[in-house]
């Protein structure tokens, strides 16, 4: 497992988040969150995002949503989930600055993580964002590999030293740091305004 001190993240102004497993409970392998009733926020998510907002950091979601390509939901369904998520966060004084979703199947695009197309779109929309002031927070190997390809630091969430699955171990080794949850990650590595 990697550990890191806060100085490695001191200049982070753009926080990229995976969705399933970071913001909401991850569905079982082979199943998908296809509607708001199946979207269950994880503890502390609202507080974590509100703190990042308060400290002036941009919060951007980058998520693979293969369920669209497989016909389990439509793009409209996905947009509805994300609008309801934004509305819910808003009632807790928290906001997402952008959400980028890949609706494609494996091998159909350059945006599905671990490819970096979603990040390239974000960098185009947020010209001040760069590899030098961004971090990726994710719970899967594809999240951490995408960050590695871009050259940005990453935090692997869900660290469990007893998990011996090869993908888990590889993600934990590749990541700049590890954390137990999004709130733990924010409180451990991203407290305060950038540069402080």
* Residue from 20, 115, 139, 143 carrying the catalytic annotation: 20
Which runs of E-coded beta strand occur in the chain?
14-17, 58-64, 98-102, 134-138, 154-157, 177-179
DSSP string, 47-74: HHHHHHHHTT-EEEEEEE-TTTTTTSS-
* Residue from 18, 115, 139, 143 carrying the catalytic annotation: 18
**For this structure, is 18 an active site residue?**
yes
Cα atoms found within 13 Å of the Cα of residue 68, Cβ hemisphere only:
16
| Full strand arrangement of the beta sheet holding 58-64 | 98-102, 58-64, 14-17, 134-138, 154-157, 177-179
Give the residue from 19, 193, 189, 186 showing the smallest Cα distance to 113: 19
**For this structure, is 115 an active site residue?**
no
User: Catalytic residue numbers?
Assistant: 18, 20
């Amino acid at each position: 497992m990697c550990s890191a001190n806060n100085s490695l993240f001191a200049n982070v102004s753009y926080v990229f988040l995976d969705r399933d497993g970071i913001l909401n409970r991850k569905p079982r392998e082979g199943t998908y969150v296809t509607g708001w009733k199946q979207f269950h926020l994880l503890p502390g998510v609202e507080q974590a995002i509100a703190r990042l907002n308060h400290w002036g950091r941009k919060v951007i979601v980058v998520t693979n949503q293969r369920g669209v390509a497989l016909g389990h939901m439509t793009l409209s369904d996905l947009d509805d989930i994300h609008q309801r998520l934004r509305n819910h966060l808003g009632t807790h004084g928290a906001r997402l600055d952008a959400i980028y979703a890949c609706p494609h199947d494996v091998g159909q695009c350059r945006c599905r993580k671990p490819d970096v197309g979603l990040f390239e779109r974000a960098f185009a929309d947020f010209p001040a964002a760069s590899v030098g002031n961004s971090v990726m927070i994710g719970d899967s190997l594809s999240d951490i590999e995408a960050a590695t390809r871009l050259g940005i630091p990453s935090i692997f969430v869900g660290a469990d030293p007893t998990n011996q699955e090869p993908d888990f171990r590889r993600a934990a080794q590749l990541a700049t740091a590890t954390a137990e949850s999004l709130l733990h990650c924010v409180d451990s590595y991203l407290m305060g305004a950038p540069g402080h």
